[in-house]
Amino acid sequence: MASKSKTVYLCDECGYESPKWLGRCTSCGAWNTLRERKISVSPSGSSPERKLTSATDVVRLSKVTAGSEERISCKIGELDRVLGGGLVVGSLVLVGGDPGIGKSTLLLQTAQKMSEEADILYVSGEESEKQIKMRADRLDGDKCDIDLYCETDIDKILAAAEKVKPDVMIIDSIQTVYSEDISSVPGSITQVRECCMMLMKYAKQSGTAVFIVGHVTKEGTIAGPRILEHMVDCVLYFEGERHHSYRVLRAVKNRFGSTNEIGVFEMEGDGLHEVENPSSALLMGRPKDAPGSAVVCTVEGSRPILAEVQALASPAGYGNPRRMGTGIDYNRMTMLLAIAEKRLGLNLQNLDIYINAAGGLKITEPAADLAIITAVYSAVSGKPIPGDMAAIGETGLTGEIRNVNQTDKRISELAKMGFKRCIVPGGSKLEKKNGAELLFADNLADVIRLCFGGKKEGKA
């Protein structure tokens, strides 16, 4: 007998099933997590009988021949770097970022450049053909030869893809795509999950590489179910301040390459331009002999990047002093300020402290601890840090300086950019001469003495 469908409500957090909508899940206690979903049942009310099928594709792992993945060049070096060497055939790539950050611009530029050697299908659910054409003209549309389809029905999108058979398909965005088989509205968790699963199945079966654009929440994470990031092969975040010209494309998941790899772009009137030397671009305009400015070399994936950390201290106008940070983790900033107060004797309780990573770069690794503390000390004391000096190291709660990874690579990048001295942890076993004088410090007292007074010590 033919099966029927009924509507149930499933909790996104624990999977609890309820016959009616509830504001709060009775199983896990989460609020507003029950979503509508249709399931098939037999006329008697029981679940439909499952038919056993024979498995024909079970293979021994020892008999599988492993080879390198077939890749397609995106014709944009920074994007190829983040993807691990190019776009893997049949992969599903999720690109997320704040509104207006440049996600659609990046993918349209990618489509334009790849269209010279590959067939591209650009599916838009947010813009009309004329809007996309206007943006393409601004981005050198004369070289653009791609197929354009403005549709939000996933069944029609897949039917068009089967007809065109593109090498690469771009979906902008996944939150606008819906399936008529699901009664919930486009953008809901159920719709996003099911449509993404259909796109993933199509990509694996056809060999078409698929880019999907995902909106982000106010917390900065991809909107929709967390399973969306687990399903795709690669998750890219497009970061940067809207009022800064620099944008950073960061890989937080990549099944075909390293994670935390970044690509740097500059937004201009005719689109995004690659920044081949981010260190030089981020240090451009750095003031000389200005208190509160320190330089650190961070490592993003396999790329060392020089960044300027700026600090400003001013008398607090109210009872509670302010602590503000841009481009660095707030909790780590407050911890480092407490360490500086306790171990260096700084009196910060009546000062507002502002810390900024210049250029819109976000610094997340602990190797920047020394740069942040020396910048704050310089801002409070009014003494500038020597312009040819940088600091690398993690700071512990007792004031000790701990080692960081890839120190040789960081020193080489500093030397290449003209820095002659670098403060490094005393436990660093650096034997290779990298062109910069190494100043070894075991604790914060040694760091302050090396930066603002005392004899030079250490060896290259």
Tell me, what's the pLDDT at 51?
54
Pairing label, strands 401-402, 351-357 = unpaired
Per-residue CA distances from 268 to 242, 247, 273, 378 (Å): 12, 11, 7, 35
Radius of gyration of the chain (CA): 27
Q: How much is the pLDDT for 455?
A: 43
Q: What CATH number has the domain bearing residue 287?
A: 3.30.230.10
Q: Which pLDDT value is given to residue 221? A: 60
Residue finishing a domain among 237, 257, 276: 276
- Domain shared by 239 and 358, yes or no: no
CATH number of the domain that residue 103 is part of: 3.40.50.300
65, part of any domain: no
- What span, in angstroms and rounded, lies between the C-alpha atoms of 442 and 446? 6
User: Which long-range contacts (C-beta less than 8 Å, at least 24 apart) are formed by 344-347?
Assistant: 344/373, 344/377, 344/399, 344/444, 344/445, 344/448, 346/376, 346/377, 346/380
Q: For residue 52, is it within any domain?
A: no
Determine, yes or no, domain membership for 200.
Answer: yes
- Across the chain, which has 460 residues, the per-10-residue mean pLDDT values are 70 77 85 76 52 66 78 93 92 90 92 92 92 87 81 95 95 91 79 90 94 77 67 90 81 87 88 89 87 93 90 88 92 95 92 90 90 96 93 94 91 91 84 74 94 54
pLDDT at 184: 75
Say yes or no: 98 and 187 in one domain. Answer: yes
State how beta strands 168-172 and 120-124 pair: parallel
Confirm whether 264 is domain-assigned: yes
- Say yes or no: 314 and 441 in one domain: yes
Q: Are residues 166 and 289 in the same domain?
A: no
Specify if 64 maps to a domain.
no
Q: Residue 237's CB: how many other CB atoms inside 10 A?
A: 24
Q: Tokens at residue 420, please? A: 């002659």
Q: What share of the chain is helix, strand, coil (3-state, %, to 5)?
A: 30, 30, 45
How many CB atoms are closer than 10 A to CB 319? 6
Q: Is residue 98 part of a domain?
A: yes
Report if residue 50 sits inside a domain: no
User: In three state form, how does the secondary structure of 139-208 look?
Assistant: CCHHHCCCEEEECCEHHHHHHHHHHHCCCEEEEECHHHCECCCCCCCCCCHHHHHHHHHHHHHHHHHHCC
Query: Between vectors from CA 413 to CA 386 and to CA 83, what angle results, nearest 5°?
Result: 135
The CA–CA distances, whole Å, from 287 to 140, 218, 291, 294, 308 equal: 37, 34, 9, 11, 10
Please indicate, yes or no, whether the overall pTM of this predicted structure exceeds 0.85: no
Q: What is the domain range of residue 12? A: 4-41
Same domain, 261 and 292: no
Is residue 192 located within the same domain as residue 294? no
Which of 249, 276, 303 is where one domain is finished? 276
28 and 123 within one domain: no
Last residue of a domain, one of 276, 294, 326: 276
The structural domain count of the chain equals 3
Q: Examine the domain organization and report whether 447 and 337 are in the same domain.
A: yes
Q: Are 392 and 324 members of one domain?
A: yes
For residue 239, what pLDDT is reported?
Answer: 83
Per-residue pLDDT at 364: 86
- Residues 97 and 203 occupy one common structural domain: yes
Residue 324 lies in a domain: yes
State whether 247 and 287 are in the same domain. Answer: no
Q: Are residues 97 and 112 in the same domain?
A: yes
DSSP 8-state assignment for residue 304: E
